Amino acid sequence: MKILRTGVLLILLSVMLVVVGGAIGGQNGLKIALAIAVLMNGISYFFSDKIALASSGAKPVTREQVPRLYAVMERLAAKANLPVPKLYVIPEAAPNAFATGRNPHHASVAVTEGLLQLMNDEELEGVIAHELSHVRNYDILTSSIAATIAGAITYLASMGRFAMIFGGLSGGDDDRERGGGLAALLMIFLAPIAALILQLFLSRTREYSADETGARMVGQPYGLISALQKLGAYNQRIPTTSLPPSTAALCIVKPWFGSGTLSSLFSTHPPLADRIAALRDLTIVPSRS
C-alpha cells in the first residue's frame, strides 16, 4: 500500500507537470516541460548526494575515528543485507542525521557530532536503522525525483508569469481561447502550490515508512522512540548552523534554524508526536533465529 501510494503521488506530479506545460505553452510547453524534467532528474540522479554532502560540510570518517558508528552501521547493514554506506560526520552541535545516494551501492550516511555525543547505543542504533531504511527503500531517489518534478512545475509557472507580463498569454476573441487563457492562469498560480503539497506529503509518507522499517530492522521500536524524543527536545534548543535549509527534507528530524517555522501543511516531516505514536502502536513479532 505504501509503495502504491508513493507511485500514485509521483504519477500525479508527472501528470501535473505535463498539464502545466500544455496549459502554458501548448505542445511546445509540453515538450519544454518534459525536457526540463529529464534534465533535472538526470542531475538529481547523479549529483544530489554530492551536493547534499558538500553543502552540509560533511567529512568522511574512518573506523578508527568513529568505531561505535561503524560497529552499529556494519551490524545493521549485514542484518538488512545491504552494502555498508560511506560514513560522514558533520561538525554540528545540533543532533541530526541523513542518508543520501541514488541506490544502496552508492549510498552515504551523515551524522552530526551532536548526535554521536547525545545518543546512547540503543538510540544510535534506532537512528542508523531509520537512515538505512531510506537507503533500502530507495527513498532518496524517490524524493529527489519528486523534488525535481515539483521544481520543474514551479519553473514553468514562473515562465508563464513572465510571459503573461509581456502579453504572451493574452487571449483572443474566441471563447475557447479565453477559456484556455483562464486555465493557464489557474495553472500558473495554483500548480506550484499543489506540487509543493504533493511533494511534502510524499516526504512525510516516506518518514513514517522509514520509522517502521527501521524499527523492524532492529527488532523493537524503543531505541528509535527514545532517539526521536531526544532529537525533538535538543533541536528546539540548539539552532542548526552547518546544514543548509535545502537538506532539511533529508534529515531524520526537521532542523531548527533559529527562526519561525511554517505550518504543518508545509512541513517536510510529520509531527514527532505522531511518529512516536505510530511506533508505539507498531507490533513486531520477534524473529526465531
Q: Which residues are catalytic?
A: 131
**Distance spanning both ends of the chain, measured CA to CA:** 28
Q: Helix crossing, 222-234 with 272-280: angle to 10°?
A: 170
Nine cell digits for residue 286 = 520477534
Nine cell digits for residue 92 = 554540528
- Around Cβ 276, how many Cβ atoms within 10 Å? 18
Q: CA separation (Å) from 36 to 14, 43, 183?
A: 12, 11, 21
What residues does 98 pair with on adjacent strands? 110, 251
Phi/psi of residue 64, nearest 5 degrees: -65, -30
What residues does 50 pair with on adjacent strands? none
User: What is the distance between the alpha carbons of residues 90 and 244, in angstroms, rounded to a whole number?
Assistant: 12
Phi/psi of residue 59, nearest 5 degrees: -115, 135
Phi/psi of residue 252, nearest 5 degrees: -65, -35
Q: Where are the beta strands (DSSP E) in the chain?
A: 59-60, 86-90, 97-100, 108-112
Angle at 245 between CA 241 and CA 250, to 5 degrees: 105
DSSP 1: -
